[in-house]
Amino acid sequence: MFTGIVTAIGEVVEAERKGPSLKRLAIASPYEARGIELGASIACAGVCLTVTALRERADGQPGCVFQVEAAAETLAKTTVANWEAGTRINLERSLKVGDELGGHLVTGHVDGVATIVRIEQIAADPDEPWGATARFHIRAPEALMRFVATKGSVCLDGTSLTVNSVEGEVFTVLLIPHSLSITTWGLRKEGDPVHLEVDLMARYAARLAEARPQG
Enumerate the active-site residues: 2, 41, 48, 50, 71, 109, 162
The residue type at 119 = I
Is the CB of residue 27 less than 8 Å from the CB of residue 124? no
- For residues 182 and 205, give the distance between their C-alpha atoms in angstroms, rounded to a whole number: 33
φ and ψ at 82, to 5 degrees?
-95, -5
What separation in angstroms does the CA of 115 have from each of 71, 171, 177?
Answer: 23, 11, 21
**How far apart (Å, rounded) are the C-alpha atoms in residues 4 and 154?**
9
Q: At 75, which helix (H) or strand (E)?
A: helix 72-77
Cα dihedral 45/49/51/55 (nearest 10):
-30
Q: Kind and range of the H or E element at 73?
A: helix 72-77
- The CB density around residue 189, as the number of other CB atoms within 10 Å, is 7
Quick one: 174 exposed, middle or buried, by C-beta within 10 A (0-12, 13-18, 19+)? middle
